[in-house]
Structure 1
Amino acid sequence: MNMLLAFAPFIAFVVIERVVGVPAGLAAGAIVATVLLVRDLATPGRHVKLLEVGTVLLFGALTLYALTNDVQWSIAAVRLRVDAGLMLIVLASIALRQPFTLQYARETVDREHWDSPHFVHTNYVISAAWAVAFGILVLADIVMVYIPSLPHSTGVIATVAALYATAKFTSWYPEQQAAKRS
């Protein structure tokens, strides 16, 4: 659940972008991301996470750029930037040997399991699944940018399917691995 809360800035972005516009949506994402980061900094026992830092930087940079330049991004074009940024954050966490899900999983698993090869491997697999999901979002965004005649629902369906499947996988995979080891 805590990991899903990390996606709140992206939800705020989508909602506000549709209602008010791109710059406001980006600013909403930046504000929500900053609130989550400050919460982690101010709450004893909580730790700052790579995904949250990356999200603040992503939305902050895009907001600053949108407000200081006369950008005329379509909704699909700005979503492409946001989704590509999110995918890069996830891929960077894997490349830095700190898969982003590891930080969330450690909040719910006893410390004695943190260095277990199974625990670490499971988090690499789940983080890679999220990278694939965000890759699907990026592809859907590219299609929507370059084939604007396609119904908007095509991108929405691809996005919802990818995120839903990955959320389900995130809860199923650890249970499956634990059952294998039992």
Structure 2
Amino acid sequence: MMQILLAFAPFIAFAALSRMVPVTLALAAAALVAIVQLLNDVARHKRSIRILEVGTALLFCGLALVAWSRGGAWGIAEVRFWVDGGLFLIVAFSMLIRQPFTLQYARERVSPEIAARPQFLRVNQILSGVWALAFLVLTAADHVMARMPQVPLWIGIALSVGAMVFAFWFTSWYPERQRRLMAAAQAAQATQDAKG
């Protein structure tokens, strides 16, 4: 869970800075954080380069260039729409190629035998699907906040916070539930085998 949270460091940096500095600087800072994460992974040779980290670096570098080409004249609500929409696309792409972004983090926490099980991929497809849904909700909320000033701002904020809280909660709850179910099934099978 902590590794996934760290993977969102560029987004956290952008969110923290976007209200204090011009949007171009906030995007450039997020791009720098994403690039440092990638370089750190390459320097450590510890793991494969992750889809989320590559996508995040490309996303923030691209958005920083767009903001710079516009002379920084880009509203924060519109930029947030593109950031969250880009994150949704990264996660959806990882699922489409059957390498859900959570899979690369989860493999580091389990044995190769567990990682090779079909259920392991299924669990990570579900986890990544929940994150994709959360980012889609964020993107929709950003759109509402940017384009529909008649809608109270608190609605968009509540949707965004609720989606993220749910995604984090589900990411900690669901794998543990699956472990318990698998352990119970193995115990039942062992009991059955002993009787047979």
Q: State whether TM-score is above 0.5.
A: yes
Per the alignment, in what secondary structure is the counterpart of residue 34 of structure 2? helix
* Alignment partner of 1:126 is 2:107: no
Query: Partner residue of 2:40?
Result: 39
Unaligned runs of 5+ in 2: 185-196
1:154 CA displacement: 2.6
How many matched pairs?
Answer: 182
1:76 CA displacement: 0.9
CA contact (8 A) 2:22 2:72 kept: no
Per the alignment, in what secondary structure is the counterpart of residue 107 of structure 1? helix
CA contact (8 A) 2:24 2:72 kept: no
C-alpha separation in 2, matches of 1:23 and 1:155: 23
Query: Partner residue of 1:175?
Result: 176
**Aligned pair in 2 of structure 1 residues 179, 110: CA closer, same or farther (>3 Å)?**
same
Q: 1:127-142 alignment to 2 at 5 Å?
A: 127-142=128-143
Question: Percent sequence identity over matched residues?
Answer: 48
Query: Partner residue of 1:159?
Result: 160
C-alpha separation in 2, matches of 1:50 and 1:178: 25
C-alpha separation in 1, matches of 2:13 and 2:6: 11
Listed one character per residue, the Cα deviations across residues 19-59 of structure 1 (whole Å, up to 9, x for unaligned) are: 00211111111011111111111113232100000000000
Q: 1:42-57 alignment to 2 at 5 Å?
A: 42-57=43-58
1:161 CA displacement: 1.1
Per the alignment, in what secondary structure is the counterpart of residue 109 of structure 2? coil
Q: 1:7-156 alignment to 2 at 5 Å?
A: 7-70=8-71, 72-156=73-157
Listed one character per residue, the Cα deviations across residues 140-176 of structure 1 (whole Å, up to 9, x for unaligned) are: 0111111124343332221111111111100100111
Bigger drift between 102-111 and 41-50 goes to 41-50
1:119 counterpart letter in structure 2: F
Larger Rg: 2
2:7 counterpart letter in structure 1: A
1:71 CA displacement: 5.2
C-alpha separation in 2, matches of 1:148 and 1:108: 45
TM-score computed with the length of structure 2 as normaliser: 0.89
2:179 counterpart letter in structure 1: A
TM-score computed with the length of structure 1 as normaliser: 0.95
Cα RMSD, aligned residues only: 1.2
Unaligned runs of 5+ in 1: none
